Chain A
Amino acid sequence: MADYITFRDVFFDKIYELAKKDSDVVIVVADMSAPALDKFRKELPSQFINVGIAEQNAIVVGSGLALAGKKVFVYAIAPFITLRCLEQIRVSNCIMNIPITIVGMGTGLSYDSDGPTHHLIEDISILRSLPNITIHNINDNAMASFYAEELCDIDSTHYVRLDKDFCDNIYDINFDFSKGMSKLCEGEENLIITTGPMVHTAMALVKDSPHNIAVIDIFQVPINEPVFLDMIKGAKKIITLEEHFLPGGLGSAVCEILNDNDIHIFVKRLGLDINSAYKYCYKYGGREIIRSYHGIDKVSLEKIINEYFKN
């Protein structure tokens, strides 16, 4: 594990490089640190703005800075910089369309030992219901680096989900992320469409599966519809998989596109069942244990996937 660095460090290292060359690049944080950020704070103090533990203020001050011509990244713990500030985001960044990049640390069940206040399993649904905001679900270092650079020049608001865990890299550093999704294994009829850290889980499962299953990584929402429709050509069975409540999440987004395009493929949505509510939110012992209560741990998924794609 010693060789791994987190997506967060890759992301902020890249921004640091860009900020050194461009004094308009600024980071607004709500009392957050990280190795890459510490360097930024020490060496570029005038471009590092700490508002204290005040996420709502971070969004509106960041928006004011953007109106003043700054290229703004607002960074805090994910549930607080999204749901706590939802109305600030809605007014300043969606209605007024002031472009900032919101960076949320610790999405999904990343903060497995911190309890439900720190989990974020509702944000894709909530934020994709707002116009003028694009979500990027980062699960790879090359992807983190690509978006750090891309988001220095924006004309609408973006939200970057940063997972806390270390993961293997999936993509080559020169990979073209502009389509917002990628098909990771060959196969046409059986698909697992997934996002964020669950992509790694899905990849491991299809590798060991007796069936031929392709994995599609959706790393940008709203889903790029023409690319998506092209990518699922020939599909007969689809599983969607997400570490997120099911209503409004990735599975819902996939079903909306299929429905609106009159495509009749059965879709099995796997994720956190809303009916279990927050029943398992005080379970501890690691992320995989919490997932197991929701039936999306590797062991449970292996059974479901092999059964579903059997015929």
Chain B
Amino acid sequence: MNFKLRDNSMLFIEDFKNKSHEIRRNTLEMCVGAKKGHVTSCFSCTDILVALYYGEVLKYKSSDPNWEDRDRFILSKGQASPVLYNILADVGFFDKSELKKFNKEGGMFAVHLQNDVPGVEITAGSLGQGYGVAAGLALGAKMNNQLHNVYALLGDGECYEGSIWETAMFASHNRLNNLITIVDRNYLCVTDFTENLISLEPFSKKWEAFGFNVIEIDGHSFSEIMDAFGHNRSRSFSKPTVIIADTVKGKGMDCLCYQPLWHGRAPSIDMFAKICPSCDLHKDKCCGKNMNLDKIKKGI
């Protein structure tokens, strides 16, 4: 399967996978070096971000971060900033040398997302807030007769925040079909799986009941991700769309995926030394294949 880009070049699934692998590895290196960063939160949404930025889903100009017609991307789960910073550097918003200064004196950024980094729209870290800003931006764009879209990426754990649902009601009532919500449904919070904590299921039905057009996808399948984003290009729905992306927290690293209490941590240098040389950072292998997914996803 392949995708035709605006310059008529083709992007193959394998290209996406290679880019994701590269971004994950760079993100891991950056976080291990700084001993900081929510690595597993980054890895569950890496493929979605790669599709957004390399698959010509998002309209942006890295040479002009404040370009008026850009799509606005709101990373409401601000703890995934390390992977976004790696992508923004890779597509040219700022020099890659900044990545080496992650969480260091004189560096531009650290663990949580900040709005003064070129290419970033908001400061995030307090969950549940970015989504409302995204809805305000989407309504503002409609009022201004602007055609750009607003993409908001939420964590599933973030959906425990009541303010998410205040915004969801608002978005559907105002028919904000220029707001595309993506939920990184990785099933895992800090201490436990969502279905053990406070059940989020039936999750898609909740969004449906709030008036959303719901698309459920495998959040690591580029064909499904691109297909889901393609739906919205034509704004064929009057409702706002939510893409619930089934993902693996820690995707790419068997030793970390689906591991409670790995939220907010970076592997040590010793652990990294074991992971990376053998490139146990998987491109294709399905992480968590030995896990009891029923237990994780249904809380049984």
Q: Which residues of A does B touch, CB under 8 Å?
A: 23, 26, 46, 49, 51-52, 54, 56-57, 59-70, 87-88, 91-92, 95-96, 98
Contact = CB atoms under 8 A, between A and B. Distances in A.
Contact of A95 (B123, B132, B167, B169): B123
A196 B137 CA distance: 35
Given A61-B139, A64-B138, A64-B139, A56 B166 contact: yes
A66 to B, nearest CB: 8
A61 B136 contact: yes
B129 interface: yes
Contact of A56 (B132, B138, B169): B132
A60 B132 contact: yes
Contacts of A68: 136-137, 139-141, 143-144, 146
A67 B123 contact: no
A161 B41 CA distance: 41
B122 A70 contact: no
Interface residues of B, number: 28
Interface string B104-147: 00000000000100000111011001111111111111011010
Contact of A88 (B123, B129, B144, B162): B129
Given A51-B170, A67-B121, A88-B129, A61 B135 contact: yes
Given A62-B136, A64-B132, A96 B166 contact: no
Q: Per DSSP, are chain A's interface residues mostly helix, strand or loop, or mixed? A: helix
B163 interface: yes
Interface in B234-288: none
Interface of B: 115, 121-123, 125-126, 129-141, 143-144, 146, 162-163, 166-167, 169-170
Contact of A91 (B121, B126, B141, B169): B126
Contacts of B137: 64-65, 67-68
A92 to B, nearest CB: 6
Contacts of A66: 136
Nearest to A46: B143
Given A49-B139, A60-B163, A64-B134, 12 more contacts: A26-B143, A51-B170, A54-B170, A56-B166, A60-B129, A60-B133, A61-B170, A63-B136, A64-B132, A67-B121, A68-B137, A96-B115
A95 B166 CA distance: 22
A56 B128 CA distance: 10
B140 A60 contact: no
Q: Max chain A CB contacts within 10 Å: which of B129, B133, B166?
A: B133
17 contacts: A26-B143, A51-B170, A52-B170, A56-B162, A56-B163, A57-B163, A60-B136, A60-B163, A61-B135, A64-B135, A65-B140, A67-B140, A68-B143, A70-B140, A91-B123, A96-B115, A98-B133
A204 to B, nearest CB: 44
B170 A63 contact: no
A64 B163 contact: no
A40 B141 CA distance: 21
B162 to A, nearest CB: 8
Nearest to A23: B143
A262 to B, nearest CB: 36
A66 B167 CA distance: 16
Report, nearest first, the 3 A-B pairs whose CB atoms are least far apart.
Answer: A64-B136, A68-B140, A60-B132
B132 A61 contact: yes
Contacts of A23: 143
A149 to B, nearest CB: 22
B74 to A, nearest CB: 9
B132 A91 contact: no
B166 A51 contact: yes
A70 to B, nearest CB: 6
Nearest to B163: A56
A56 B163 CA distance: 7
Contacts of B163: 56-57, 60, 88
Contacts of B134: 64
A96 B139 contact: no
